[in-house]
Structure 1
């Protein structure tokens, strides 16, 4: 399902990004949103850590590590190509993030009021306006952008469903599943695991996009930090240099744990004030506690493994 459709939508995305870049260069619109309004924000708090948690995919993203291990690796025939595929995709996504900021700034009113509509609507209408400058009829431009946004949503959703199902199965799988207990076989069944993960996703949708986003960003960046910890251990035992991973690792651990603790305190305060509900704040509180516990467990165990591992031990054993 993913491979043929994603192959076709890739050309749509390239056309969308190319059109947006050319449109920005030709139109050279005025950025109506202010560049900086202060370190503190009335609704978001301080820029640290929310800025780093929000700007995720164009910087360091844990979700992409899951995509690369469970999806991308199965579509690349040569490991040497992963540098171009992985790094190239992140650079292109960073470009898309900058384009989105430019479009949002240009679409705002002259007094700095943000454009009305959802983020997808603002971006789609803005890029469609760029296409119109090249003689593309307005209905064709809007139709094309709607298809691009829909394809992006479908790609994200089925990738998340696949990766969520695989991660759920890995929690209960053993090396020899033919001799596993019946309950393990049930939980690792492809269809049963898919239903469970989709049901969990459906429950989260009831919470609301704006409510779940702070936790999503924190979980995403926490996962990237945990991947960096694991890679440090892997590179050490395989005799490779790993010093370049320590700066982003330390930064991401500080960012994610700060964001999670802040969110945990905010949720506790909401309960004390009597304004919390179980479906919204209650589920977020449970997830925040689980994420903090999970992160601490993996970091501590990984650091112990790193300290105990001997450099180049894997190559020496071979």
Structure 2
């Protein structure tokens, strides 16, 4: 099968969907470009801070992409490339795009607050408590999985001293963080021109890559990188968004754009054929257990088709920075479709190199895409370092965004903003640094298992979180007289997939003696069932009134 044809079909379908289905949703939901957004009405320049749509698209895209659309399809491709491809295309258009666009829109109409607040106003306080608890647990899994992936990507192995790829990417990433801080200071405090600053910032970004490639001084172990990454996300998650989050994600988006353009151009130049089978089997052994296409495919692909994490990003940070309500379509629906393109490129890269390359998802992805880029003269080694740096940069953006949102969730769980007269210890638990440290500490405990064991339960919780977000949106749309089917249909399907997966995962974990992960799966399942029943009860009660 020629890979270029698959890519063309996917891109054309995404463009048609954005122009038609995206417009249909915006019209039916009542998107109003003249309506003031929370970024203006609640502006504090810490969390609420309006910015240009291109900047926020960069922030949102970088935050939601992370390692998900690369790691997920790579692990799911054991079923063959065709099922993964079909789910990425269909999921991005009718599941993920609707979920992301709707989450941002709902947050904009609820003062930029999280989906948890949408749940409270449309389902009740108990529903909000359950949703926030579920979200916080899911975010701990996100932090654990992505931190482990980042540390493993940057790690230097003394037993293989000639392989400095990780050290190169790690060195460049540290320089990139410093560059982002400088960019934020000049643009948001020195009022530097955004166009000029972007040109200089992007040029400096590639200088960082060159320095990292030429002088890979950070030859550190995985353990050392774990400590550095965890300390970094603690600091980053409590800093004002303008000094690191916005500028870093904005500049990082150019890495992904460059990667996408290079990969797409390389695929058209080399016209690679997919070496992997289109379909293998409905039941595949991974060496320890049998993996079934339903539901494992749908929870493993994760961010490449739909991701509950996106609803937390959209309602946790993105909605607080949107300048006009009409920007929500580009940022929400558009970014999800671009992420779908990343997932398709990943499928092609891995299906092309399947019989040639082993290793981590970053290494397998980089091997394929660097081969494509060599078609227009980019040396394989340079391309590999650039791709691995891009991969790790996206994972880092998701990491500190996830930590920041988890901090919001933890503060709400501790009662922030609910009562003025609270015990001193409860007010202590509401402090930003406390919520951040508790979140990162719990993630560090789970990291002892490694991302391979965390990913399946992360995928299940992540997709179930998407179902719960769609549940909240459907309840809100029902109460406000808006169209419900675009969110209700994917909601039902995601519940069927994820609840089945959690039962299977809990059984496997308990059977293997892994009681911590089995317990996490069980708790997530129970919380979801209770929240679903709470929603049904609330809607029935309202219908009787």
TM-score norm. by structure 2 comes to 0.53
**Residue 259 of structure 2 is aligned to residue 16 of structure 1:** yes
Structure 1 position 289, deviation (Å): 1.4
**Residue 317 of structure 2 is aligned to residue 71 of structure 1:** yes
Segment drifting more, 6-15 vs 55-64: 55-64
Give 3-state SS (helix, strand or coil) of 1:5's partner. Answer: helix
Contact 2:357 2:367 survives alignment (8 Å)? no
Structure 1 position 30, deviation (Å): 2.1
**Residue 339 of structure 2 is aligned to residue 106 of structure 1:** no
Partner of 2:531: 298
Q: Give the Cα separation in 1 of the matches to 2:357 and 2:434.
A: 43
Partner of 1:206: 448
Report the number of matched residues. Answer: 299
Q: Give the Cα separation in 1 of the matches to 2:379 and 2:323.
A: 41
**Residue 385 of structure 2 is aligned to residue 143 of structure 1:** yes
- In structure 2, stretches of 5+ residues that fail to align are 1-243
Matches within 5 A, 1:233-252: 233-252=475-494
Structure 1 position 252, deviation (Å): 0.7
For residues 241-285 of structure 1, the C-alpha deviation after alignment (integer angstroms, 9 at most, x for no partner) is 212222111111111110011112222333xxxxx2xxxx12111
Contact 1:58 1:91 survives alignment (8 Å)? no
Structure 1 position 176, deviation (Å): 4.8
Q: Give the Cα separation in 2 of the matches to 1:221 and 1:139.
A: 36
Q: Give the Cα separation in 1 of the matches to 2:419 and 2:425.
A: 11
Contact 1:174 1:180 survives alignment (8 Å)? no
Structure 1 position 60, deviation (Å): 2.0
For residues 20-64 of structure 1, the C-alpha deviation after alignment (integer angstroms, 9 at most, x for no partner) is 111111111121111111111112421000011111212221110
Q: Give the Cα separation in 1 of the matches to 2:469 and 2:310.
A: 10
**Residue 291 of structure 2 is aligned to residue 49 of structure 1:** no
Partner of 1:162: 404
**Residue 248 of structure 2 is aligned to residue 5 of structure 1:** yes
Structure 1 position 139, deviation (Å): 4.0
Contact 2:265 2:373 survives alignment (8 Å)? no
Q: Give the Cα separation in 2 of the matches to 1:244 and 1:158.
A: 31
Q: Give the Cα separation in 1 of the matches to 2:494 and 2:387.
A: 34
Segment drifting more, 92-101 vs 135-144: 135-144
Give 3-state SS (helix, strand or coil) of 2:369's partner. Answer: helix
Contact 2:308 2:463 survives alignment (8 Å)? yes
Q: Give the Cα separation in 1 of the matches to 2:472 and 2:539.
A: 9
TM-score norm. by structure 1 comes to 0.89
Give 3-state SS (helix, strand or coil) of 1:45's partner. Answer: strand
**Residue 274 of structure 2 is aligned to residue 31 of structure 1:** yes
Give 3-state SS (helix, strand or coil) of 2:275's partner. Answer: coil
Give 3-state SS (helix, strand or coil) of 1:179's partner. Answer: coil
For residues 171-212 of structure 1, the C-alpha deviation after alignment (integer angstroms, 9 at most, x for no partner) is 112435643221221111111111100001111111121111
Contact 2:506 2:519 survives alignment (8 Å)? no
Partner of 1:283: 516
Q: Give the Cα separation in 2 of the matches to 1:209 and 1:108.
A: 21
Compared CA separation, residues 305 and 32, structure 1 to 2 (3 A) = same
Compared CA separation, residues 138 and 269, structure 1 to 2 (3 A) = closer
Contact 1:236 1:309 survives alignment (8 Å)? no
Matches within 5 A, 1:171-250: 171-176=413-418, 178-250=420-492
Q: Give the Cα separation in 1 of the matches to 2:299 and 2:306.
A: 9
CA-based RMSD:
1.7
- In structure 1, stretches of 5+ residues that fail to align are 271-275, 314-318
Partner of 1:309: 542
Contact 1:264 1:285 survives alignment (8 Å)? yes
Compared CA separation, residues 177 and 189, structure 1 to 2 (3 A) = farther
Contact 1:103 1:123 survives alignment (8 Å)? yes
Runs of 4+ with deviation above 3 angstroms: 137-140
Q: Give the Cα separation in 1 of the matches to 2:440 and 2:398.
A: 13
Q: Give the Cα separation in 2 of the matches to 1:267 and 1:133.
A: 45
Q: Give the Cα separation in 2 of the matches to 1:194 and 1:158.
A: 10
